[in-house]
């Protein structure tokens, strides 16, 4: 009786996952899991299977009917990054997610800003952390954004009133969009303060938090386990090594999941799944000399319930290739172009 109940629950959950996700090849994968990976192999841990399928398909940040269109610092190709107009244009274009960065100010506010230093994008100098929020608001956030015209640089946003904004000023303005937030500070209290702020803003279900500082990601998870996180640097390469190991053994001739592959080393894979504290790998195609993104890598990630979101892609050909490979999200400086490409695919409600 228990086995029949678990079988029914498993089928319903996996069918729902398929309906929510890519329409390509999933019926084959579904049959493989049920016929090859489950019905014929009774040693599979059914509870772990249910947990990982829920993790992948049901978290509000991940769940979508198409790969996430993720606006990198807003529409940063056309408008100064991390400013309100850049976010507004992304929102109005219909993106799924706005990617942005946070720094702590001298007086304890989180502001949307990428660099540690103010010099590259504003008319200010020095560290963001050396300024109060009030002082930062006096700066021109569009001062150094340039566009070439007739071979000469122009600065169309200088003096147009673009400002640096605190997190609480921006997130409530866009209630129907996700935010992907990168913690830039190494300050120990930053993860705790950010978690508190996101909870105050009632934004915990539509935010994913990550950082290039592994310690910050680890600390954030401890204080806010209900908020989705992406893998930190060490976790990315640990996952990549594991994927490479299984790819070498099991994916030599095909990226498809065969019954043999699913049952082979299933216990080790199940353990691996349950040890993963993150929901997504947010990575480039190539990191220095290491190619991370391949069809096999994506297939392995999906098998263990992890989304693959790739940054930062601005050319159509690469977008098309990644969409064919069934990535789960793409970061781009020009989301309008990505939207056009996504609409060419057969996603529901794309």
pLDDT at 273: 67
Helices and strands in the chain: count of H runs, count of E runs: 14, 13
Residue 252 exposed, middle or buried by CB count within 10 Å (0-12, 13-18, 19+): exposed
305 pLDDT more than 60: yes
Residue 165 pLDDT grade (very low, low, confident, very high; cuts 50, 70, 90): very high
pLDDT at 209: 99
Domain ranges (residues) in the chain: 45-116+175-349
Q: Per-residue pLDDT tens for 270-302?
A: 666 678 999 999 999 998 888 899 998 998 898
**Domain 45-116+175-349 CATH assignment equals 3.30.420.40:** no
Cα(146)–Cα(219) distance, integer angstroms: 38
16 pLDDT more than 80: no
Q: What percent of the chain has pLDDT over 70?
A: 75
pLDDT at 252: 42
Question: Model's pTM, two decimal places?
Answer: 0.79
Cα(320)–Cα(260) distance, integer angstroms: 31
Q: Per-residue pLDDT tens for 199-217?
A: 999 999 999 999 999 999 9
CA distances 297 to 17, 122, 223, 256, 334, Å, are 20, 40, 31, 12, 26
Cα three-residue angle 66-272-311, rounded to 5 degrees: 40
Distance of CA 212 to the CA centre of its chain: 13
For the chain, what is the mean pLDDT?
82
pLDDT at 2: 45
Mean per-residue pLDDT for 301-322? 95
pLDDT at 263: 54
pLDDT at 62: 87
């Amino acid at each position: 009786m228990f086995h029949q109940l678990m079988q029914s629950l498993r089928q319903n959950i996996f069918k729902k996952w398929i309906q929510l996700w890519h329409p390509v090849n999933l019926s084959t994968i579904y049959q493989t899991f049920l016929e090859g990976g489950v019905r014929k192999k009774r040693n599979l841990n059914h509870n772990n299977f249910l947990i990982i399928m829920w993790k992948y398909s049901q978290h509000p940040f991940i769940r979508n009917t198409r790969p996430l269109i993720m606006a990198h610092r807003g529409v940063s190709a056309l408008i100064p990054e991390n400013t309100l107009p850049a976010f507004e244009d992304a929102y109005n274009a219909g993106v799924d997610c706005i990617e942005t960065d946070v720094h702590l100010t001298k007086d304890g506010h989180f502001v949307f800003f990428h660099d540690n230093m103010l010099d590259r994008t504003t008319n200010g100098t020095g560290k963001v952390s050396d300024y109060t929020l009030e002082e930062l608001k006096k700066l021109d956030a569009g001062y150094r954004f340039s566009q070439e015209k007739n071979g000469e640089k122009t600065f169309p946003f200088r003096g147009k009133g673009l400002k640096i904004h605190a997190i609480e000023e921006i997130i409530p303005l866009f209630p129907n969009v996700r935010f992907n937030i990168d913690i830039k500070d190494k300050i120990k209290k930053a993860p705790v303060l950010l978690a508190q702020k996101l909870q105050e803003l009632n934004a915990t279900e539509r935010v994913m938090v990550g950082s290039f500082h592994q310690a910050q990601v680890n600390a954030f998870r401890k204080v806010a386990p209900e908020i989705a996180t992406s893998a930190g640097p060490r976790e990315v390469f640990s996952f990549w090594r594991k994927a490479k190991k299984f790819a070498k053994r099991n994916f030599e001739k095909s990226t498809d999941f065969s019954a043999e592959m699913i049952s082979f080393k299933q216990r080790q894979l199940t353990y691996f799944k349950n040890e993963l504290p993150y929901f997504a790998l947010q990575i480039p195609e190539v990191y220095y000399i290491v190619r991370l993104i391949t069809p096999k890598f994506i297939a392995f990630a999906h098998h263990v319930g992890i989304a693959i979101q790739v940054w930062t892609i601005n050319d159509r050909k690469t977008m098309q290739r990644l969409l064919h490979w069934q990535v789960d999200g793409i970061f781009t400086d020009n989301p309008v172009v990505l939207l056009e490409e996504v609409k060419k695919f057969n996603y529901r409600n794309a």
